[in-house]
Amino acid sequence: MLAIEHLYKSFGALQVSKDISLSVATGQCHAVIGPNGAGKTTLIHQISGVLRQDSGRVLLGGQDVSHLSVWERVQAGLGRTFQITSVLPSFSVLENVATAVQAKTGSSLKFFARAADEAALNEKAQATLSRVGLGDRIDRPAADLSHGELRLLEIAIALAGSPKFLLLDEPMAGLGKTESAALIDLLNDLRSDFPMLLVEHDMDAVFQLADEVSVLVEGEIVARGTPSEVRENPQARAAYLGDGA
Ligand SMILES: Nc1ncnc2c1ncn2[C@@H]1O[C@H](COP(=O)(O)OP(=O)(O)OP(=O)(O)O)[C@@H](O)[C@H]1O
């Protein structure tokens, strides 16, 4: 569903992506881990279209999306969550998701006009919110949600466009133990419908969710394997997990 082929990116003299290749099949969760400054965000930006690679390709469901804009990639089936919240705080939970459904389908020219008034949008938004466990919060302003609930809302917004693939940028950041456990359960449930690339610092989440892990260090993938293979890989341990891991 996602293939990255020989991606290179530099900022001036600093090479931040060095021949990165990986692929994610249907039903799979692939995690990218690495120390601060390894180039994870730069990689995410090249997949989502925020940044253009110097060379290499990004394929989504077999389609080369390397030269498409962020918006065109969303239309091509890329759903993503952001490290920084993408929620509209004064809109209701339902309106946030209905607006995302509307944006994908282009069902109305009045982009920020009451998306939740349209029955079809509403229905799809409600179903999506139920799937992420926010079915009983639809009328609350998004500003009232807890941090953990906001994360669920961000995922619902990403799902609203019926993506082929999910790009998850540190979804566990700032969550407590209980909230993290709930989110891990949700992502485990979603992965069969939405193959995913997960960039995450929370090793518990990575080891519970990922089928395959790539370890990125100074722009290069230095190790790859199942979570247990990566846990035992001396290069990965030295580079990232630390000897005590
Ligand atoms: N726009 C930019 N211009 C110049 N250098 C940049 C730019 N964006 C990132 N960098 C540099 O590229 C390197 C990789 O940064 P990046 O944010 O991709 O790493 P990261 O793995 O996401 O780090 P973190 O885990 O701290 O978020 C860093 O040295 C960073 O300073």
Beta carbon of 199 within 6 Å of any ligand 1 atom: no
Do residues 15 and 71 both lie within one domain?
A: yes
Do residues 245 and 167 both lie within one domain?
A: yes
How would DSSP label each residue in 117-170?
A: GSHHHHHHHHHHHHHTT-GGGTTSBGGGS-HHHHHHHHHHHHHHT--SEEEEES
Q: How far apart are CA 225 and CA 207, in angstroms?
A: 11
Residue 110, pLDDT score: 53
User: Rounded mean pLDDT of 180-200?
Assistant: 94
Residue 175 within a domain: yes
Do residues 155 and 179 both lie within one domain?
A: no
Do residues 132 and 96 both lie within one domain?
A: yes
Residue 85, pLDDT score: 67
Ligand 1, atom 29: nearest CA belongs to which residue? 37
Residue 195 within a domain: yes
Do residues 64 and 179 both lie within one domain?
A: yes
Do residues 72 and 168 both lie within one domain?
A: yes
Residue 211 has pLDDT above 80, yes or no: yes
Give, for ligand 1, the residue of 41, 218, 221 to mutate: max count of ligand atoms closer than 8 Å to Cβ: 41
Residue 100, pLDDT score: 85
Residue 196 has pLDDT above 80, yes or no: yes
The interaxial angle of helices 177-190 and 147-160, nearest 10 deg, is 20
Residue 16 has pLDDT above 70, yes or no: yes
Residue 227 has pLDDT above 90, yes or no: yes
ipTM over 0.85 threshold = yes
Residue after which a domain boundary falls, among 103, 131, 162: 162
**Ligand 1 mean position, distance from CA 41 (Å):** 7
The answer to whether the CB of 87 falls within 8 A of the CB of 157 is yes
| Residue 177 structural domain | 1-77+163-245
Q: How far apart are CA 240 and CA 245, in angstroms?
A: 9
Residue after which a domain boundary falls, among 105, 140, 162: 162
Residue 109 has pLDDT above 50, yes or no: no
CA atoms within 13 A on the CB side of 74: 18
The answer to whether the CB of 59 falls within 8 A of the CB of 14 is no
Residue 113, pLDDT score: 54
Residue 82 within a domain: no
CA atoms within 13 A on the CB side of 135: 8
Residue after which a domain boundary falls, among 116, 142, 162: 162
User: Rounded mean pLDDT of 186-203?
Assistant: 94
The C-alpha angle with vertex 46 and arms to 210 and 11, in degrees rounded to 5, equals 120
Residue 244 has pLDDT above 50, yes or no: no
User: Rounded mean pLDDT of 133-139?
Assistant: 95
Do residues 146 and 181 both lie within one domain?
A: no
**Ligand 1 mean position, distance from CA 239 (Å):** 17
Residue 229 within a domain: yes
Tokens of 171: 């979804």
Residue 84, pLDDT score: 63
Q: How many domains does the chain have?
A: 2
Do residues 60 and 175 both lie within one domain?
A: yes
User: Rounded mean pLDDT of 78-106?
Assistant: 84
Q: Coil, strand or helix: which one is 189?
A: helix
